[in-house]
Structure 1
């Protein structure tokens, strides 16, 4: 089963959801702000994804800018970054889509085509 972490007001999440629906991909949707993944879940997603941990941050979000993370992240260790991500769902790049060893952060049609078909 595919787990789809999203934020209902996010236009990118809506595009990704439409893509999943159009391609008949079954998923469980989880509100990323109300029920963010735990630090250990994020760690597992990060390790499975092959992506840089910084790719899991919602760099266009207000919270990211408020906390000045653009400049601060480079000096943070992995544990601190994981704790920060787990502390606030709005800091996590969305949608975050997970199934088994497959993980995508954000929505790009070409990436979804490779990962979720």
Structure 2
């Protein structure tokens, strides 16, 4: 099975999700999204496919969130996605995609939903 993880190696949750994928016997494509952020359409698709609202996919605790005034309830999803594309640190992590679906690994156990069942020896 193919898998893609939008990964931040400095994030413990992202590292746990990567380990979970590898424990399932899959070597995923790793996209370090801070270095190679997804484009606008790709990001919108990840959020939609994971069943999230744009606000659920944004890191509200990042300093950039307040600095950019993203807490304004009048901002629409398009403005929030634009901000996330410009400042990828605002993107929640990790997003994981497999043939079984897309999940945001928060909590990390959500990734298990889109991995094949574990094979026990």
The structure number with the bigger radius of gyration is 2
Q: Tell whether the structures are fold-level matches, with TM greater than 0.5.
A: yes
Structure with a larger share of its residues in helix = 1
CA-to-aligned-CA distance 1:36-72 (integer Å, 9 cap, x gap): 1011111122222221111111233333344343x22
The normalised TM-score by structure 1 is 0.83
Query: Where in structure 1 are there 5+ consecutive unaligned residues?
Result: none
Aligned to 1:57: 58
The number of residues matched between the two structures is 115
Aligned to 1:16: 17
Secondary structure, in 3 states, of the residue corresponding to 2:61?
coil
Counterparts of 1:8-47 in structure 2 under 5 Å? Answer: 8-47=9-48
Equivalents in 2 of 1:53, 1:28: separation in Å?
24
Equivalents in 1 of 2:100, 2:40: separation in Å?
17
